[in-house]
A and B are shown apart, each in its own frame.
Chain A
Amino acid sequence: MLLLAASGAAAGEVTVAVAANAAEAVEALAADFEQRTGHRVTVTVGSTGKLYAQILHGAPFDVFLAADQERPRLLVEQGLAVEDSRRTYAIGQLVLWSSDPTIEATPETLRTGSFRRLAIANPDLAPYGAAARNVLRELGLWESLRSKIVVGENVGQSFTMAASGNAELGLVALSSVISPRNGREGSYWEIPEHLHRPIRQDAVLLGRAGNTAARAFHLFLSSPKALATIESFGFVVDGQRRPIHTR
């Protein structure tokens, strides 16, 4: 009993809520963190909007890694997150992707419209969806491609639409495309930064003060090791140049 209590005090527990598109990266971070510190990390994956709603209703999360800046900002405003703890842990990269070897994911393919369906995330719900709409508007293709666009609830669903071949093209997250879980080859075009606002993803420490393990994890997110891990999953991190990705 005594032993258990002692080890319990040394090894804390962190519950992390993470937006689905960053889940793989954060799971890797969590494993690394556990090894270094002996703390235990529980990762809950969901969409930013749903996790946000759960936090509002008292879900017991210690750290929230969102897919946008808006929800973490609101949590700070509402006193549910620790002030000054909000920081950008990753910048999402939007890519045009085709899992079909006969269709090249290039701006020309978009322009000529030589495909049946283009999957994007819901522009009103998902940050990647808003960015996708941005891009298509900038390219002057939003109206003309309207009838070819199919909308996933989030960027993960749009990826599934494209990966299963139901949509030949998808505007999806680079992190999904280069993920080892993605069994499909195909081609992708990294959307130039000037075509949309950067998809900044913020993390906050939630208002359960006193959890040293949570504070340690939040701090760990800014460590060079963590940043390198996040980068390797297809994100850009602050102050870094865009990495070159190869498959």
Chain B
Amino acid sequence: MDLPELGPLWLSLQLAASATAVLLVLGTPLAWWLSGTRSRLKPVIEAVTALPLVLPPTVLGFYLLLLMSPRSWLGGLWVEVTDTTLTFSFTGLLIASVIYSLPFMVQPLQAAFESLGRGPLEAAASLRASPLDAFLTVAAPLSLRGFLTAAVLTFAHTIGEFGVVLMVGGNIPGKTRVISIAIYEHVETLRYAEAHTLAAGLLLFAFVVLVFVYVFNRRLPVHVA
């Protein structure tokens, strides 16, 4: 059997790990704010967060192509600073992935934070813990399940990204040729053996990840402070 090149697989893993890391940093405060706020803006921000779930990747891909173009303010600034274009680069894909996977990080976290209720935090505040302290020592450990679910889903969803990458990636080996693109090209060029290997691997991966999420969500005991 013809073994496919594994470069695209490593690239996908790198992209997914980076996107998950960035989203943990950006998504956690956002989810925290959403879980506690009574602001009238809340539904609007929630809607914006959920948009990537509903929009076809072509919409996102099209606007990212315009936004990251050297003719736009963002793409132009990027070219001035780095002397490379944002499109067709790993960084460009990372930005796309962060937007594309945002709901997969924020929604599980928000649900976890909301299920904590006010109690534990009010207790922490009454012991004079600062809000940050209360979050780090009380809320975060209690939301471990939420964090794990969010991180795993974000990672897996980024691995499965296709449409956006197809539009802004440019299919460059080692930079933007991720596994889904490689599979697509193998299929289109009738190299079914290679396509099968990669596709079956991805199928197995997705299945294992989801089983893990469901098992973990059932088994981990809920800590009651």
Contact = CB atoms under 8 A, between A and B. Distances in A.
Contacts of B189: 124-125
Contacts, number: 52
B185 A164 contact: no
Interface residues of B, number: 21
A14 B75 CA distance: 45
A20 B135 CA distance: 55
Contact of B172 (A122, A151, A160): A151
Contacts of B85: 116-117, 166
Given A160-B65, A164-B69, A166-B68, A150 B185 contact: no
A150 B65 contact: no
Contacts of A166: 65, 68-70, 75, 85, 87-88, 168
B217 interface: no
Interface in A161-179: 161, 164-167
Contacts of B75: 165-166
A122 B65 contact: no
B119 to A, nearest CB: 52
Contacts of A151: 170-172
A86 to B, nearest CB: 22
A212 B145 CA distance: 66
Interface string B150-190: 00000000000000001110111000000000000100110
A49 interface: yes
B171 A150 contact: yes
A164 B66 contact: yes
B71 interface: yes
A125 B172 contact: no
A125 B188 CA distance: 7
A153 B88 CA distance: 13
A57 to B, nearest CB: 15
B115 interface: no
A122 B170 CA distance: 10
Interface string B68-88: 111100010001000011011
Nearest to B170: A150
B172 A164 contact: no
Contacts of B172: 149-151
Nearest to B166: A153
Interface size classification for chain A? 10 to 19
Contact of A122 (B71, B84, B87, B185): B185
A152 B188 CA distance: 13
A124 B186 CA distance: 10
B19 to A, nearest CB: 21
A101 to B, nearest CB: 12
Contacts of A49: 188
A76 B8 CA distance: 37
Nearest to B65: A164
Residue in B75, B167, B168, B188 with the greatest tally of chain A CB atoms within 10 Å: B188
A160 B166 CA distance: 12
A116 B84 contact: yes
A116 B84 CA distance: 7
A187 to B, nearest CB: 17
A125 B88 contact: no
A231 to B, nearest CB: 31
A114 to B, nearest CB: 13
Contacts of B71: 164-165
Contacts of B168: 166
A239 to B, nearest CB: 33
Contacts of B69: 164-166
Interface in A127-165: 149-153, 157, 160-161, 164-165
B83 to A, nearest CB: 8
B84 A124 contact: no
A152 B184 CA distance: 13
A82 to B, nearest CB: 25
A122 B188 CA distance: 11
A70 to B, nearest CB: 12
Contacts of A150: 88, 170-172
12 contacts: A119-B170, A122-B171, A125-B185, A149-B172, A150-B170, A150-B172, A161-B87, A164-B69, A164-B71, A165-B69, A166-B68, A167-B88
- Please name the 9 residue pairs, one residue from A and one from B, whose CB atoms are nearest each other, closest first: A150-B170, A165-B71, A151-B171, A166-B87, A165-B69, A150-B88, A164-B69, A124-B189, A166-B69
